[in-house]
Amino acid sequence: MSPRKPYRPVGTGVNFHPAVIEYLDQVCVSEDCDRSALINRIVREHARQREVVLATVVPTSRIARCGKVI
């Protein structure tokens, strides 16, 4: 068995402005993904642009979501 810890998402309560959630939903439909995957991708891209390394624990069997393997 792999020494990696299993991936376990952490649920959070986040409030969005109505226009923001409407846009998120539009992007999710156009990219065929869920909100969580999209928001995670946006945050990872934001960190990457600022050269911040985010630790990731992802099982090797993880499939592409939101158009990208994460």
- Please indicate, yes or no, if residue 39 is contained in any of the structural domains: yes
Would you state the pLDDT for residue 9? 83
- Please indicate, yes or no, if residue 5 is contained in any of the structural domains: no
- Please indicate, yes or no, if residue 2 is contained in any of the structural domains: no
- Please indicate, yes or no, if residue 6 is contained in any of the structural domains: no
Between 64 and 11, where is the model more confident?
11
Would you state the pLDDT for residue 68? 57
Number of domains composing the chain: 1
- In DSSP notation, the chain reads --SSPPP----------HHHHHHHHHHHHHHT--HHHHHHHHHHHHHHHTTPPPP----TTPPPBTTB--
- Please indicate, yes or no, if residue 31 is contained in any of the structural domains: yes
Look up the domain containing 60 and give its range: 16-70
pTM here?
Answer: 0.67
- Please indicate, yes or no, if residue 1 is contained in any of the structural domains: no
pLDDT tens digit sequence for 5-47: 667 788 899 999 999 999 999 999 999 999 999 999 999 999 9
Would you state the pLDDT for residue 56? 66
